[in-house]
Amino acid sequence: MTKRLFALLSVLVVASLALAACGSTPAATEAPANNEAPATQAPAATEPPAAAMGTLKIVSSLPMTGSSLTQTQTIVNAMQLRLEQANYAACGGKYTLEYEAWDDASAALGKWDPAVETENANKAAADPSIVAYLGTFNSGAAKLSIPILNQAGPLTMISPANTNPGLTKADKDLPGVTDSYYPTGVRNYSRVVAADDIQGKVAANFVKSLGATTVYILDDNELYGKGVADVFEATAKEIGLTVLGHESIDPKAADYKALMTKISTSNSGAAPDAIYVGMVVDNNASQLLKDKVAIMGDNETVKYVGPDGIQTQAFIDGAGADVAEGAYASVAGVPLDKLPPAGLQFVKDYEAKYGKLTEPYAVYGYETMNVALKAIEDVCAAGGDPTDRAAVNTAVFAIKNFDGALGTWSFDANGDTSLTDMTFYQVKGGAYTSVGTFK
Partner 1 sequence: METTKKKFNWRGLGVSLLVLYIVFLIGPIASLDVPAIAAAIKANPIQLIQFLIIGISNGAIIAIIALGYTMVYGIIELINFAHGDVYMIGVFTSLTVLSVTGTLDSKDPVRITLGLILALVVAVVVGAVLNASIERLAYRRLRNAPRLAPLISAIGMSFIIENLGLMWAAQAWLVPSFGTTGGASQKVFPDMLSVMFNSLGQDVNLLASSGLPLRFTIKDLLVIILAVSLMIGLYLFVQRTTLGKAMRATAQNRDAAKMLGIDIDRVITATFLIGGGLAGAAGLMAGLYNNTAWWFMGFRAGLQAFTAAVLGGIGNITGAMLGGFLIGLLASFSDGYLSTRWTNAWVFTVLVLILLFRPTGLLGEQTGQKA
Q: How far is residue 432's CA from residue 316's CA, in Å, rounded to a whole number?
A: 9
Instruction: Answer for the pair 342, 315: CB distance below 8 angstroms, yes or no.
Output: no
Q: Which of 180, 213, 261, 408 binds partner 1 (CB under 8 A)?
A: 261
Q: Is 20 in the site for partner 1 (CB under 8 A)?
A: yes
320 binds partner 1 (CB under 8 A): yes
**Shortest Cβ 270–partner 1 spacing (Å):** 10
Cα dihedral 192, 35, 98, 39 in deg (nearest 10): -160
Whether the Cβ atoms of residue 196 and residue 233 lie closer than 8 Å to each other: no
Candidates 289, 259, 266, 295; CA nearest to 276 is 289
> Closest approach of Cβ 246 to partner 1, in Å?
11
Contacting residue, 125, 134, 194, 314, with partner 1 by CB under 8 A:
314
Q: Which of 265, 301, 345, 408 binds partner 1 (CB under 8 A)?
A: 265
| Of 46, 60, 70, 188, the one binding partner 1 by CB under 8 A | 70
> Distance between CA 412 and CA 403 in Å, rounded?
15
Binding to partner 1 by residue 286, rule CB under 8 A? yes
Helices (H), 297-388: 313-319, 321-324, 341-354, 362-381
Cβ-Cβ contacts under 8 Å for 82 (sequence gap 6 or more) = 366, 369, 370, 373
Interface with partner 1 by CB under 8 A: which range of 36-44, 143-151, 282-290, 375-383? 282-290
Chain positions 343 to 382 lying near partner 1, rule: CB under 8 A, are none
Question: How many helices (DSSP H) and strands (DSSP E) are in the chain?
Answer: 15, 17
DSSP-assigned letter for residue 186: -
Rule CB under 8 A: choose which of 61, 312, 394, 417 binds partner 1. Answer: 312
User: Considering CB under 8 A, how many residues would be counted as binding partner 1?
Assistant: 58
Among 151, 214, 242, 313, binds partner 1 (CB under 8 A): 313
> Which residue in 47, 179, 238, 247 binds partner 1 (CB under 8 A)?
247
Measured distance CA(378)–CA(43) in Å, rounded: 24
Q: Does 140 bind partner 1 (CB under 8 A)?
A: no
Among 36, 47, 238, 255, binds partner 1 (CB under 8 A): 255
CB of residue 87 vs partner 1: minimum separation in angstroms? 30
Q: Is 227 in the site for partner 1 (CB under 8 A)?
A: no
**Which among 317, 327, 269 has a CA at the least distance from the CA of 297?**
327
Mapping DSSP onto H, E and C, the string for 3-35 reads: HHHHHHHHHHHHHHHHHHHHHCCHHHHHHHHHH
Give me the residues that bind partner 1 (CB under 8 A), please.
2, 6, 9-10, 12-13, 16-17, 19-20, 22-26, 65-70, 73, 107-108, 110, 221, 247-250, 252-259, 261-262, 265, 269, 281, 284, 286-287, 290, 294-295, 312-314, 317-320, 322-323
